[in-house]
């Protein structure tokens, strides 16, 4: 059995416990010793983080190989159209390469959404809209770059789920403890990303070199 902690990170909080520039950090909200984030969340993004003191579990949750989907609520600048939604679903090409296909659909503003401090700046003549976007990658500022690539810059970004864990009933700045049992190992194995043919070929070549 291992404990994890679900934390709803507020806006403009670093996803670490110290900061040399004096910005707000996890230590302003979390007083539990010897736990660490399993993955990061941008300073200007909000929502779910998972922390644990179990190093192996931390790796299992955060490593891209284990393919835990992450779902975001995204407020974008403009009334996003079907063409942009289709492009996000298919995968868009960024500077560091194409993204994997994503699960995307329009949503109304979530009813359990909290006010952001400071609030998003709105332009009276330009509407905004919301989407739910689920990805299985974790590139730097990926969601923001994806929506910008299809012509709809992100105004507000909230991570709502990681795998089966969500921010339901968790207010900004709140933390909740959960116990993870053997079922997570089965879940992880079932959802682990299978190696590609080129990766299998590379492993075979490596083994041959080591044996020669």
Positions marked active-site:
42
Q: Which residues pair with 209 in a beta bridge?
A: none
Angle at 90 between CA 88 and CA 93, to 5 degrees: 70
Tokens matching residue 82? 């079907």
| Residue entry with tokens 């730097």 | 140
**Cis preceding-peptide flag for 118 (omega within 30 of 0):** yes
Give the CA distances from residue 139 to residues 40, 44, 56, 134, 210, in Å, rounded to whole numbers and listed in that order.
Answer: 11, 15, 22, 13, 33
């Amino acid at each position: 059995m291992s404990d994890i902690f679900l934390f709803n990170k507020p806006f403009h909080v670093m996803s670490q416990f110290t900061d040399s520039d004096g910005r707000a950090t996890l230590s302003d909200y979390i007083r539990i010793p010897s736990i660490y984030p399993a993955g990061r969340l941008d300073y200007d993004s909000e929502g779910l983080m998972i922390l644990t003191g179990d190093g192996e579990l931390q790796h299992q949750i955060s490593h891209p190989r284990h393919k835990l989907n992450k779902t975001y609520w995204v407020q974008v600048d403009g009334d996003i159209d079907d063409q942009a939604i289709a492009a996000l679903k298919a995968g868009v090409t960024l500077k560091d390469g194409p993204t994997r296909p994503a699960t995307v659909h329009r949503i109304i503003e979530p009813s359990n959404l909290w006010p952001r401090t400071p609030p998003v700046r709105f332009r009276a003549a330009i509407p905004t809209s919301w989407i739910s976007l689920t990805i299985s990658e974790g590139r730097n500022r990926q969601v923001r770059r994806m929506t910008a690539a299809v012509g709809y810059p992100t105004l507000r970004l909230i991570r709502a789920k990681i795998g089966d864990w969500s921010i339901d009933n968790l207010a900004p700045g709140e933390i909740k403890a959960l116990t993870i049992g053997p079922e997570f190992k089965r879940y992880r194995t079932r959802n682990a990303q299978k190696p590609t043919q080129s990766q299998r070929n590379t492993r075979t070549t490596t083994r041959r070199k080591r044996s020669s």
